[in-house]
Each structure stands twice: as structure tokens, then as C-alpha cells.
Amino acid sequence: MHLRRPAEFKQVFTKGKAYRQPAFTIIVQDNGLDVPRLGLAVSRRTAARAVVRNRIKRIVRESFRGLQRPLAGLDVVVVARPLSAKLPPRELRVSLDALWRQIGESCGTS
């Protein structure tokens, strides 16, 4: 499932807990459901070219897909920072994996 409405994003941004790395910020909040929901924020300021923004989103979705069970019951918004447009895909995955571990440890899952 995905976060789609601006109100859903706003709620996560205002009430969620943020985890930061140089390439990404991930904000999480309980959603009261049995499934996790993902929202992506990759602005033109982060990457001017659509090809680059889409590549970042693809990598984030792929990384998130493998974590459906440990993140159940959470709304997750991944905000790409400008550095994410400059890093190769392997380093983006490493950065995301570190953030997912950090979230798992603080939420008591893994």
C-alpha cells in the first residue's frame, strides 16, 4: 500500500519520528493497520531530471518491498535529499539498509 493523499503525508510529517542519513530522511508513524504504507518525496530540487528521480524511487521501493513484515503497522515516508541524486545505486541501497536497521531497532522489530 502507498500513502497517496496530502493529508496522509502531512500527518506523518507532523507526528512521525525521523531517521536521517546524508542521502535520505525516513519518517515513520504507527498507522493502526496490519500492513506498512510507503510514501515517497523526491523533489525537483533533489534531482532536476525525471530519470534520476524515478531511479531513486525505484531503488527505495525495491528496498522497502523486502521489509513488508518487519515494518507492518507503520506509515513510512522516504524523503530523498540532494546527495541521493549523486550517489550510485549501490551506495543508495547501503544508506537505506542502515536506516531500515535503525528503524527496526527503535521499533523493536528486525
Query: Is the model's pTM score more than 0.85?
Result: yes
The per-residue pLDDT for range 25-62, each reduced to its tens digit, is: 999 999 989 999 999 999 999 999 999 999 999 999 99
Grid cell, residue 14, equals: 507532523
Residue appearing with cell numbers 493529508: 7
Closest CA to 37 of 70, 6, 66, 72: 72
d(Cα 16, Cα 75) in Å, to the nearest integer? 9
- Give percent above pLDDT 70 in the chain: 97
Mean pLDDT of 62-85: 91
**What integer pLDDT is reported at residue 109 of this predicted model?**
56
Side-chain half-sphere CA neighbours of 48 within 13 A: 0
Closest CA to 33 of 63, 4, 1: 1
- Give percent above pLDDT 90 in the chain: 79
